Structure 1
Amino acid sequence: MKPDNYIQKAYHFILQNDFEEALRWFEAAIQANPGDAEVHYRCSITYGRSGRLEQAIRHAKEAVLLQEDKPEYHLHLQHLEALELVQKARKMVEGKTDASPKDLYQAAALLKSAISKDPLHSEAYVWLALVYSELNEHPLAITTLKEVISLFPQESGLQHIMEELKKRLKSYVLDLPTD
């Protein structure tokens, strides 16, 4: 079978929302022509949309290695790496009422790295703002959230988070000891 036929089959299944079958065809296309950067790239996108980040990153890296002059391959890889960093940071703090300051600072570092890799990754900004708030760095939390609001002003949920952060700041200021 010609490599293009594999890709056509993969897209046929994507249009039917059968991503597992589409991935099977992408993998077959890669087996038939492992040096095709575009197939690795497309396969990576499908893995990413299927929530299989590890495989998505593996194929994105392969696409970049095979064809370094394609900026879209680099951007895609950076986006996936940012997703991975956000996932790691979330695991460090999500649902933990007793997260240590060390964990929170490590999570903040991961989230800053995610933002540097993908400056439009809104979730990274939101989590960074929440981590700053947990560290009682409320001005940094609000500044970070203002940044993402300026990028995505249409997101009404961000305004709700901002109001919550402002309440936490007021509560924190009221709880400060007075001399």
Structure 2
Amino acid sequence: MDGKTQLQKAYKAILNNDFERAAEWFERAIDAEPNNADYHYRLSITYARSNKLPKAVEHAETAVRLAPDAKQYRFHLSTLQARELLVRAGRAIDGTETNPYLAIALLQQAIALDPLSVEAHLLLAVAADAVGDAAQAMQAVNDALRLAPESDMVLSLLPSYEQKLKRFLGTDAARKPL
């Protein structure tokens, strides 16, 4: 079978919410046409939706290598790399390797790769707060608020960080956006 036939079967599996089967069909399409960047890209999306991040990154990197001028492939790879950094930062905040300074560095990298990640901004607020950097924590919460003004999570954190920044500054300046 050619890659296009395999691709059609992958989409049929997706329509049936069978992402495992879809990934198998995408893999077969790649076996038929290993240098088809689009097949790698589509498999990467399927793996990302199935929370198989390492495999998603692998195929996104292959898509970019095969078609370096394709902006959507590079964008997809950046967002996946940002997700990987979020996972590592989460472990640096809550895990066995607790290190909020490492988390801050990882989250700053994640935000550079995916500036629209509300989760990265919120984790940055938590990490900055953990090291006593009220100004950076408030800035991160404000950035998250600009990205997701209706988010219950952001709105619930805002008063706490405003209060901390207020104490840090010793003024009412916390009410003004940074």
Aligned CA RMSD, in angstroms, stands at: 1.9
Contact map agreement 2:37 2:63 (CA 8 A) in 1? yes
**Distance in 1 of aligned mates of 2:95 and 2:48:** 25
**1:9: which partner in 2?**
9
Following TM superposition, where does structure 1 have runs of at least 4 consecutive aligned residues deviating by more than 2 angstroms? 164-174
Partner of 2:154: 158
TM-score by length of 2: 0.89
TM-score by length of 1: 0.89
Q: Map 1:59-78; keep pairs closer than 5 Å.
A: 59-78=59-78
Structure 1 residue corresponding to 2:123, chosen from 122, 127, 135: 127
- Conserved? CA contact 2:45–2:56, under 8 Å: yes
Following superposition, the deviation at residue 154 of structure 1 comes to 2.2
Mapped partners of 1:52, 1:171: distance in 2: 43
Residue 164 of structure 1, CA deviation: 2.5
> Are 1:20 and 2:20 matched, yes or no?
yes
Range with bigger deviation, 119-128 or 157-166:
157-166
1:29-80 alpha-carbon deviations (Å, 9 max, x no partner): 1011100000000000000000000000000000000001100000000000
Q: How far off its partner does 1:169 sit? A: 4.6
Q: 1:166 offset after TM fit, Å?
A: 3.0
For structure 2, list consecutive stretches of 5 or more residues without a partner in the other structure.
Answer: 171-178
**Aligned residue in 1 for 2:35:** 35
Q: How many residues align?
A: 170
